[in-house]
Structure 1
Amino acid sequence: MTIAVWMFLAFVVATLGITIWAAKKNTSAGAYFAAGRSITGWQNGLAVAGDYMSAASFLGISGMIALFGYDGFMYSVGWLVAYLTVLIVVAEPLRNAGKYTMADLLAYRLTPRPVRAMASLSTITVSTFYMVAQMIGAGTLVKLLLKDLPWISTEAAIIGVGVLMVVYVVFGGMLATTWVQIIKAILLMTGTIFLSVLVMKNFGYSFSKFFDAIANLTYVDAKTKLEVTRNFLEPGMKFGAEVTKGWGPLDLISLGLALVFGTAGLPHILVRFYTVPDAKTARVSVVWAMVIIGTFYILTTFLGFGAATILKPDHIVTDNMAAPQLAETLGGPIFFAFISAVAFATILAVVAGLTISASASFAHDFYSNVLHHGKENRPGQEVKVARITAFVVGAISIFLAIKLQNVNVAFLVGLAFAVAASANLPVIVLSIFWKKFSTTGAVLGLAVGLVSSIVLIILSPSIMGIDGPEVVAAKRHLIQANAIFPLTNPGILSIPLGFLAAIIGSLLKREPEAEAKFTELKVRAHTGLGAEKATAH
């Protein structure tokens, strides 16, 4: 077997070892869902970064930049700036006012059952969107990694990743997931830094030569089959008017809104703040995460533009594989094996985080608090339901990933961000900052945000494969022209609709009990007093 296969197997064995170790510590719901709140600030910061720096970041964004230049780099900017909303708006209040899930914050002063039911539906929807993107990347990557084993198809690779993901979550819980994410973050940063150094070495460590090459990039155009020279530092290759028939600037703004506001509504990011002992540690972990994430997204410049200038856009196998291809070209088979194994670790860590957030939401919010009115009918039943949910979510994600395997992962994750920004963020922000926010507003905001974002995605060019790697500019123009909703990301419309619905719902039906508890929530959100009892209503 090749060294790539051995590295792949070594990571799998190591992470399974962590899962076995963590399984012995899962003695309660708090241990399973929140790692016993034992994670330190720097550990959680690494884990948050590991959860956030997904396959979409490492594989998708590198490919976006390599094929679309400046426009692809906007994905990096959006994801980096997005963490400011997490730090400023949600990290501390969420840790102080919740227990295991986002719905704990909402249910504190609102009527629990309808709010938890809608929040659980939203969490599972967003997690599934995001998970499908990661598993598409996994399938493509493992197929490339194990190219010496032709009997392993992309579909088989996706199924294998899904099975491993379920094993981590079912047996290891949040503790195993956290340590897989920490190890993944360290490996990813190591590989990204080294690959960036190799890119600059190719240009004699001269930034001027590097950016000159980007500004005067010569390659064979996929449409005309003629050699062209383009400036990859200029906007317009993806969102330009010649491709999107005048909607390019709005499409870019819509994407930016989804990325910047979506992060603060991502369930698998939000649950990470429940693993630390207090709000101060939550703030510390966000600072650690921002430093790591910021460094990483700056380095994607070298990965994406390095692939464009060294490999050339016409020689990139698929947009999701630009970074591994670049690693093989510059560092040989051993470095390719390492980068591929790191990318695989990236996918497993993020998918595990998504799975546990979805299963925790269903078990804690819907099963325990909606169906059983907050009373666990048997000890350990909530954890058992979460484990069963992990199997179901895994199966659904595997099926969808196989069906959508040709879609760019960064693009698909952008849609997940749009759903999170439209449904989750409005109710979180209004619950924390608006006294008149009511149960009706929360349910309506979640429902309208969720439905509007998904409907607009279905009516947009996105659903017709506009961002598939095989789609050339002429076909993209035709698809865009025939779509009912012309933008590829719905954020610019669905986010205001989510906020508007939540506000109108609250004004239509006032809730004196919720208003009376606002001051109590405000004190708890800012001080942490009684945080461990935050779900008591």
Structure 2
Amino acid sequence: MALSMGATGDPKVTVSIFAVFVVATLLIVYRVSNRRASAADYYAAGSNFTGRQNGIALAGDWLSAASFLGITGAIAVHGYDGFLYSVGFLVAWLVELLFIAEFVRNTGRFTIGDVLAYRMRPKPVRAAASTATLVISYFYMVAQMAGAGGLVALLLDVRSPTGQALVIAGVGLIMIFYVLLGGMKGTTWVQIIKATALLICVVLVTMFLTGKFLYSFSSLLESAAAHSPLGGRLLNPGAQYGKSATTKLDFVSLSLAIVFGIACLPHVVMRFYTVPNAREARRSVVWITWAMIVFYLATLIMGYGATALVGSDVISSAPGGENSAAPLLAFRIGGTVLLGLVAAVAFATILAVVAGLTLTAATSFAHDVYATVIKRGQAEVETEIKVARITAVAVGVLSIAGGVLAIDQNAAFMVSLALALSASSNLPTLLYTLFWKRFNTRGTLWSIYTGLVSCLLLILFSPVVSGDPAAMFPDVDFALFPLKNPGIVSIPLSFLAGAIGTFLGEQEAPEKQVEMEVRSLTGIGSGLSRHR
């Protein structure tokens, strides 16, 4: 199958469908936005969404280019080992349901910093939490931008680095506009629409695909194995992570990052403040879990279907690499129209997720750093929101630059690095803060900064950045750490640093700990009304 403009259909159809979607969502964002929004309205949509609405929006926030493009491509090329991403992504929501969602909703207001600073010294803790949020959000956004560049390179046959960079810049500008205009309310409705469209899309593609094999999954798997260089190994564990002891350890590290990282992602945690109480927060997790089950079963079939109908060699050599599997499959089974729909949904996926990430980063800086640390809690609401919007523009521009550097990287793998950062810096501090009475400010700071810095350094000196043909800088080699995902080292380091810092520091006021414990378990005193 030639990878030319003719091979992927008429790009005018694809662009037209995408343009209609963008215009429609921009109109919705404009209609629901409140030009005189308070901080609660801009950051948390006034906590007026139901658990069902927020659960679907969570699906829109989480089901990113990594899930739709990256996992489908990983399954198409690596088979069983690619599906392990899906298993980890699904299991992670059980951690969210049991340990995070309800407690965070009861004790916080807008950000992770609200929870961590509840019984600690607020200024240093909020500054640390905001730093971690900005770094995690940036890594996550780079993965989405890389997916956008690869998708457009395939659809429009844009192969020049300059052309792909311009496409990424266009996606970034639209995303910035969503955040500037709509805040959390507008962004949430974009995510609800996107999640619904994405779920419908993958179900339809799965139905069309299985129909070509007379609804026989066994026949589909046999054909996939026949069209892969891996042969029968495509259906068994170990094709990607079973080659050596190092790759097996890398898989364990990846699993830890996925399962523990999702539960404390800043943009996921922030969504629980858009519902009125802890009960609706729990319902949100139930709704997204069911959405995940449907979606990841569909991507399993789509991944193997792409191998069977397109071929893993063709996928790997296409513009965008593994990220091209879903669009190539759509064109093969449904022609230009289905390709246009899949491409539009993929673009919408990227736009909605990056908008949520940008809003989270902007909220964290404006609320935790500007309003609390710099202005000592005396900032005007209008000024705080203005700072958030300026931050959104800055973060958007930086993510565009990072996306250009990471165009050829698998989006799912790039997200796993953000998850490692999240699990290393946020998970230990959240769990310690919520469940350990002795935990204190020094322990919080040591845990955040140790997890964040160690994870960043290990990524920098890993095969992801240099020393590997698939690295960001393949022509140089300064890789000192053998694993591609550092979670197995940085997560325990963060827990250990938090414990050591706690025992070396002074105990915080016990009455604040008791108050936080009661509020986290019962919800007494929670709600945005106390902050107005």
| Range class of TM-score, shorter chain | over 0.9
> What is the identity, as a one-letter code, of the residue corresponding to 2:296?
Y
What CA deviation, in whole Å up to 9, does each residue of 1:210-267 have, x standing for no partner?
23334x4344x5xxxxxx73421112221122xxx42121111100000000011211
Q: Against the structure 1 CA distance between its residues 150 and 423, is the aligned structure 2 distance closer, same or farther, given a 3 Å change threshold?
A: closer
Structure-2 separation of matches of 1:12 and 1:200: 30
Q: Is 1:502 aligned with 2:498?
A: yes
Superposed displacement of residue 465, structure 1: 7.2
Q: Is 1:274 aligned with 2:273?
A: yes
Superposed displacement of residue 379, structure 1: 3.7
Q: Is 1:157 aligned with 2:167?
A: yes
What CA deviation, in whole Å up to 9, does each residue of 1:179-219 have, x standing for no partner?
000000001001101111122112110122223334x4344
Q: Which residue is equivalent to 2:8? A: none
Q: Against the structure 1 CA distance between its residues 149 and 439, is the aligned structure 2 distance closer, same or farther, given a 3 Å change threshold?
A: closer
Q: Retained in 2: the 8 A contact 1:247–1:487?
A: yes
Q: Against the structure 1 CA distance between its residues 512 and 133, is the aligned structure 2 distance closer, same or farther, given a 3 Å change threshold?
A: closer
Q: Which residue is equivalent to 2:6? A: none
Q: Retained in 2: the 8 A contact 1:123–1:358?
A: yes
Q: Retained in 1: the 8 A contact 2:441–2:508?
A: no
Q: Retained in 1: the 8 A contact 2:432–2:439?
A: yes
Q: Retained in 1: the 8 A contact 2:464–2:472?
A: no
Structure-1 separation of matches of 2:328 and 2:432: 45
Q: Where in structure 2 are the equivalents of 1:87-486 lying within 5 Å?
A: 87-147=97-157, 153-214=163-224, 216-219=225-228, 221=229, 229-241=231-243, 245-316=244-315, 317=318, 318-376=321-379, 378-464=380-466, 466=468, 468=470, 483-486=479-482
Q: Is 1:86 aligned with 2:96?
A: yes
**Equivalent position SS for 2:426:** helix
1:35 to 41, 45, 58: 45
Structure-2 separation of matches of 1:251 and 1:49: 27
Q: Retained in 1: the 8 A contact 2:101–2:282?
A: yes
Structure-1 separation of matches of 2:469 and 2:212: 30
Structure-2 separation of matches of 1:61 and 1:470: 20
Which TM-score applies when normalising by structure 1? Answer: 0.92
Superposed displacement of residue 25, structure 1: 5.5
Q: Retained in 1: the 8 A contact 2:276–2:527?
A: no
Q: Retained in 1: the 8 A contact 2:221–2:308?
A: no
Q: Against the structure 1 CA distance between its residues 346 and 151, is the aligned structure 2 distance closer, same or farther, given a 3 Å change threshold?
A: same
Structure-2 separation of matches of 1:326 and 1:259: 27
> What is the identity, as a one-letter code, of the residue corresponding to 1:521?
M
Q: Retained in 2: the 8 A contact 1:407–1:465?
A: no
Q: Retained in 1: the 8 A contact 2:29–2:186?
A: yes
**Equivalent position SS for 1:231:** helix
Superposed displacement of residue 26, structure 1: 4.9
Structure-1 separation of matches of 2:146 and 2:471: 13
> What is the identity, as a one-letter code, of the residue corresponding to 2:356?
G
**Equivalent position SS for 1:394:** helix
Q: Which residue is equivalent to 1:224? A: none
Q: Retained in 2: the 8 A contact 1:146–1:152?
A: no
Structure-1 separation of matches of 2:400 and 2:446: 31
Superposed displacement of residue 2, structure 1: 2.2
> What is the identity, as a one-letter code, of the residue corresponding to 2:269?
L
Unpaired segments of 5 or more residues in structure 1?
222-227
Structure-2 separation of matches of 1:263 and 1:149: 33
> What is the identity, as a one-letter code, of the residue corresponding to 2:384?
E
Q: Is 1:523 aligned with 2:523?
A: no
Structure-2 separation of matches of 1:57 and 1:465: 27
**Equivalent position SS for 2:231:** strand
Structure-1 separation of matches of 2:19 and 2:159: 14
Q: Against the structure 1 CA distance between its residues 499 and 230, is the aligned structure 2 distance closer, same or farther, given a 3 Å change threshold?
A: same
Structure-2 separation of matches of 1:462 and 1:269: 25
Structure-1 separation of matches of 2:469 and 2:13: 33
Q: Against the structure 1 CA distance between its residues 252 and 324, is the aligned structure 2 distance closer, same or farther, given a 3 Å change threshold?
A: same
2:483 to 467, 475, 487: 487
Q: Which residue is equivalent to 2:507? A: 511
Q: Retained in 1: the 8 A contact 2:150–2:408?
A: no
Q: Against the structure 1 CA distance between its residues 435 and 105, is the aligned structure 2 distance closer, same or farther, given a 3 Å change threshold?
A: same
Q: Is 1:532 aligned with 2:527?
A: yes
Structure-1 separation of matches of 2:500 and 2:160: 57
> What is the identity, as a one-letter code, of the residue corresponding to 2:147?
G
**Equivalent position SS for 1:462:** coil
1:44 to 48, 54, 66: 54
Superposed displacement of residue 154, structure 1: 0.9
Superposed displacement of residue 152, structure 1: 8.5
Q: Against the structure 1 CA distance between its residues 487 and 123, is the aligned structure 2 distance closer, same or farther, given a 3 Å change threshold?
A: same
Q: Which residue is equivalent to 1:6? A: 16
> What is the identity, as a one-letter code, of the residue corresponding to 2:287?
W
Structure-2 separation of matches of 1:429 and 1:385: 30
Structure-2 separation of matches of 1:233 and 1:467: 25
Q: Retained in 2: the 8 A contact 1:97–1:531?
A: yes
Which TM-score applies when normalising by structure 2? Answer: 0.93
**Equivalent position SS for 1:108:** coil
**Equivalent position SS for 2:235:** coil
Q: Which residue is equivalent to 2:5? A: none
Q: Retained in 1: the 8 A contact 2:464–2:471?
A: no
Structure-1 separation of matches of 2:114 and 2:274: 14
Structure-1 separation of matches of 2:56 and 2:36: 22
Q: Against the structure 1 CA distance between its residues 470 and 498, is the aligned structure 2 distance closer, same or farther, given a 3 Å change threshold?
A: closer
> What is the identity, as a one-letter code, of the residue corresponding to 1:496?
P
What CA deviation, in whole Å up to 9, does each residue of 1:445-477 have, x standing for no partner?
000000011111111111127483999xxx99x
Q: Against the structure 1 CA distance between its residues 239 and 151, is the aligned structure 2 distance closer, same or farther, given a 3 Å change threshold?
A: closer
> Could you tell me the percent identity over the aligned residues?
47
Structure-2 separation of matches of 1:148 and 1:258: 34
> What is the identity, as a one-letter code, of the residue corresponding to 1:31?
D
1:53 to 59, 63, 80: 63
Instruction: Please give the root-mean-square deviation of Cα atoms over the aligned residues, in Å.
Output: 2.2
What CA deviation, in whole Å up to 9, does each residue of 1:379-427 have, x standing for no partner?
4111010000001000111111112212111111000000000001110
> What is the identity, as a one-letter code, of the residue corresponding to 2:359?
I
